[in-house]
Amino acid sequence: MPTNLELVEAQAMSLSQKDRALLLQRLRLSINQVSGESQAHGAHACESGQSWAEEHAEFVTAYTLMVEKEGLALDEWRNF
């Protein structure tokens, strides 16, 4: 069974040079759009993570100090 790319290539070969150029332009635009959406999602995830870290910085600091002072909970029963 042919892949999507093979089907597009086969269709492109039957097009005129002008139509083939238009098809390639549309494919590039589609790829750029998907890439842009992926980058926007990644930026949002990074902002969300940074926001979480800022909101919980006090707790993380307090927990870190507690672990340094008292050790990890149930540490004596760890197998690793």
Give the tens place of pLDDT for each residue, 2-58.
776 666 667 666 767 777 777 777 777 777 676 666 666 666 666 777 788 888 888
Return the pLDDT at 51: 82
Return the pLDDT at 79: 82
In whole angstroms, give the CA distance from residue 25 to residue 17.
Answer: 12
pLDDT at 69 over 70: yes
Nearest CA to 8 out of 33, 37, 19 is that of: 19
Does the pTM of the predicted model rise above 0.75?
A: no
